[in-house]
Amino acid sequence: METEAKEEGLEVVNEASANLPESPDPGPEALAEEVHEADYSQMTKKDLVDLLKDMVRENDFLKSEASLRELRTRFEDLQHLEKTEALKRFLENGGTLDDFDYRLDALDIAFEANFKLLRNKRLEHFRNIEHQKNENLAKKKELLDTLRQLIDGKDDKHAFEKFKEIQKQWRETGPVPAAHVRPTWASYHALVDRFFDNRNIYFELKELDRKKNLEAKVELCVRAEKLADEKQLGVALRELHELHEEYKHIGPVPREEKDALWERFRKATDAVYERRDAAVATQHAEWAKNLEQKQELIKKVTELAAFQSDRIKEWNQKTQEILALQKAWEGIGGVARSKSKEVNKQFWSAFKSFFATKSKFFSKLEGERKANLEKKRELVKQAEELKGNTDWDKTSTALRNLQAQWKEIGPVPDKYRESIYAEFKAACDHFFGQRRERFEAADKEQADNLAKKEAVCAELEQMIAGKTATLEGLKETQRAFQAIGFVPRAQASGIKTRFAELFQQAMATVDVSQADKDRAMMELQVENLKSDPDAAYKLQQREQGLRKRIQKEENDIAVLKNNLEFFGRSKNAEKMKAEFGAKISAAEAEIASLKRQLKELRAVLRG
């Protein structure tokens, strides 16, 4: 009996030291890190906040620290996207980068509050677990001391009941810190071996206990086998971890069942781990594909980060391109955690660099536009000062010069573009509207004047036809024609020529001496000159003109008379003398007429 008890004790030691699978206890956090059940990359800010609230309510402390960091990274990416979009809209609406202020919304605040709450609760939870493990270690050390005392004490009929109570308390006591698991477990089983070695009288009871242990471990095998059909791999891994903990703490089983039972439990474990390995391999392949796609986008966004231009249209075009890259980036799933931080940094650094350069360009452009605004305001001021001026030609030229300057000045800030142009246009329109109205009135007046002058010409035609013209009547007609104002420029020369020809024809029908006609014509000419704005100058020019013509005729006569002296001995002398004499007579008559005109001009000026 003693030998059998010792052998059974050795069996306990051997089973306790048997090698379990290399990684039967990866721990809840390690399992959560190996397989990510949640895909944060497609979640919105609201989805992330709702998920975080559920985790707080459910006290989901098995989420790894890395998973929480990934959740937070996704939320911060969305925050950055919103901030970028808000900055873009702010700049497009005329704002400047220095004035931009991004404010957190309700979801931002809710996320930070719940994230902090969950993290604090999680830290507190694991602190409590560690504290409990230390208490369990102290309790198990007490149980080991108690077991030693029981083994070294007097053997009596109550020893086995005390031993069973120690075993019960040992099983009920939870896990201890990892560093003490093997030492305390080895100490416990060594003492158990000693107990059975010293108390072989209870061998039969031990055998019965091992059969109960067999039933418990078979039940664990059944539960482990069912995990192969569990749809959620994370749940299966966590439960398998719990089954391994239970399996370790159940005592020895009959020797003949030990190997087969352990092989059954190991196969069930391997089936779950094979699923885990396949899932991890699939995920790593997907991460590698995603990494390749993201590196290609990084290359494109890095090229855009170096973009430079002085054209708004080109900047807007490149902005659309980089936003399309951003959308493509967000559509790609996750990558391995070891690469995630690096690729995110590369992409978003280039992304931010592009918009920083764009912001500098628009800030500079905004300064130029403000300077242009001041220039255009000065033109508006000048146009306002000119719009009421009635010096039509001069003011029209001045305003057209302002309009030319306006076109040469570049654009102004968008929010002032329409208003400043409206002010300038209103001032110009006011002047040109007044000018147009004035010219339209002048055109009508000139058309009326043309009709009046045509009526005067008609009267002259009647005088000529009826030979009723008199000097006084012609003078009155001349004064009437001259008193009529301007006519359209296109008809001015024609109506003036027509009147002059008709006037000459009418004067020819008057039965008076040529001297009276000359005097009458001179009076009319002088009268016409007096109505001219430059009357004094033109009268003086008229007088000088008459004097020059008289002098010319006198010089011509002197030359003709001098030439007559050479015709004395020629064959055609008489004929030549007659011709020259006629020319001299005509010139003398012209001089007499010119002198009469000069005399009349002086008489009129004196009168």
Please tell me the predicted confidence (pLDDT) of residue 28: 40
202 or 239, which is more confident: 239
- Per-residue pLDDT tens over the stretch 69-102: 888 888 888 888 888 888 888 888 877 777 778 7
Which uninterrupted H or E stretch holds 327?
Answer: helix 312-331
Q: 548-568, pLDDT tens digit by residue?
A: 888 888 888 787 777 766 665
* Cβ contact 557:587 at 8 Å: yes
**Is the confidence at residue 19, as pLDDT, over 50?**
no
Beta strands in 135-203, from DSSP E residues, in sequence order? none
The residue among 188 and 542 whose pLDDT is bigger is: 188
Residue (of 272, 268, 285, 207) closest to 235 by Cα position: 272
Asked whether 598 and 543 are in contact (CB, 8 A), the reply is: yes
Supply the pLDDT for residue 528: 64
Best CA proximity match to 163, nearest among 129, 191, 183: 191
Report which of 495, 496, 483, 491 is spatially closest to residue 530, judged by C-alpha positions: 483
**pLDDT at site 253:** 84
Q: Per-residue pLDDT for 211 more than 50? A: yes
Per residue in 375-413, pLDDT tens?
Answer: 888 988 988 888 888 887 888 898 889 889 888 888 888
How high is the pLDDT of residue 383? 87
Query: In this predicted structure, what is the pLDDT of residue 318?
Result: 87
pLDDT at 21 over 50: no
Higher per-residue confidence, 111 vs 596: 111
Share of the chain above pLDDT 70, in %: 85
Distance from C-alpha of 247 to C-alpha of 7, rounded to nearest angstrom: 22
Local confidence band at 57 (pLDDT 50, 70, 90 cut-offs): confident
d(CA 224, CA 68): 29
Average pLDDT over residues 59-67: 63
Question: pLDDT tens-digit profile of 431-487?
Answer: 888 877 777 777 788 888 889 888 989 988 888 888 888 878 888 888 888 888 888
Residue 64, classed as helix, strand or coil, is coil
pLDDT in tens, 130-159: 898 899 999 989 989 998 888 887 766 677
Which of 13-17, 114-118, 156-160 is predicted with the least confidence, judged by mean pLDDT?
A: 13-17
8 Å CB contact between 560 and 587: yes
| Residue 75: predicted pLDDT | 86
pLDDT band of residue 31 (cuts 50, 70, 90) is very low
Q: Which residues, 6 or more positions from 280, have their beta carbon under 8 angstroms from its beta carbon?
A: 34, 35
From the number of C-beta atoms within 10 Å of its C-beta (0-12, 13-18, 19+), residue 383 rates as buried
- Look at the block and give the residue holding tokens 């699939």: 282
Q: What is the pLDDT at residue 12?
A: 36
pTM of model > 0.85: no
DSSP of 215-239: HHHHHHHHHHHHGGG-S-HHHHHHH
Task: Please state, as a whole number, how many other Cβ atoms lie within 10 Å of the Cβ of residue 32.
Answer: 21
CA dihedral sign, ordered 464, 465, 466, 467: positive
Summarize the confidence of residues 11-16 as an average pLDDT.
35
d(CA 245, CA 265): 13
Length of the chain: 607
- Token code pair at residue 521: 């014509």
Q: How far is CA 239 from CA 125, 245, 506, in A?
A: 20, 10, 134
Asked whether the predicted pLDDT for residue 269 surpasses 90, the reply is yes
- Write out pLDDT tens, residues 186-195: 898 888 888 8
Question: Is 398:386 a contact under the CB 8 Å cutoff?
Answer: yes
Does the pLDDT of residue 7 top 80, yes or no?
Answer: no
**Mean local confidence (pLDDT), 338-354:** 89
596 vs 551: CA distance, rounded Å: 14
| Mean pLDDT confidence for 351-371 | 86
Nearest alpha-carbon partner for 78 in 114, 42, 39: 42
pLDDT at 262: 92
pLDDT band at 231 (very low <50, low <70, confident <90, very high): confident
Q: Is residue 333 pLDDT above 80, yes or no?
A: yes
Tell me the pLDDT of the chain averaged across its residues. Answer: 80
- Measured from the Cβ of residue 423, the count of other Cβ atoms closer than 10 Å reads 18
User: Domain limits of the chain?
Assistant: 24-141+202-288, 294-366, 373-440, 514-607
pLDDT at residue 138, rounded to an integer: 93
Q: Of 265, 258, 262, 263, whose CA–CA distance to 7 is shortest?
A: 258
Both tokens of 439, joined, read 């010219």
pLDDT band at 20 (very low <50, low <70, confident <90, very high): very low
At 6, the pLDDT band (50, 70, 90 cuts) reads very low
Confidence of residue 320 (pLDDT cuts 50, 70, 90): very high
User: Would you state the pLDDT for residue 167?
Assistant: 86
Confidence of residue 62 (pLDDT cuts 50, 70, 90): low
The pLDDT assigned to 569 comes to 56
Task: Give the percent of the chain with pLDDT over 90.
Answer: 6
Six-digit token string for 78: 């969305």
Tell me how crowded residue 232 is: count the other CB atoms within 10 A of its CB: 10
Per-residue model confidence (pLDDT) at position 469: 84
- The helix (H) or strand (E) run that includes residue 32 is helix 27-34
**b (16+ CB within 10 A) / e for 180-204:** beeebbebbbbbbbbbbbbbbebee
pLDDT at position 15 is 37
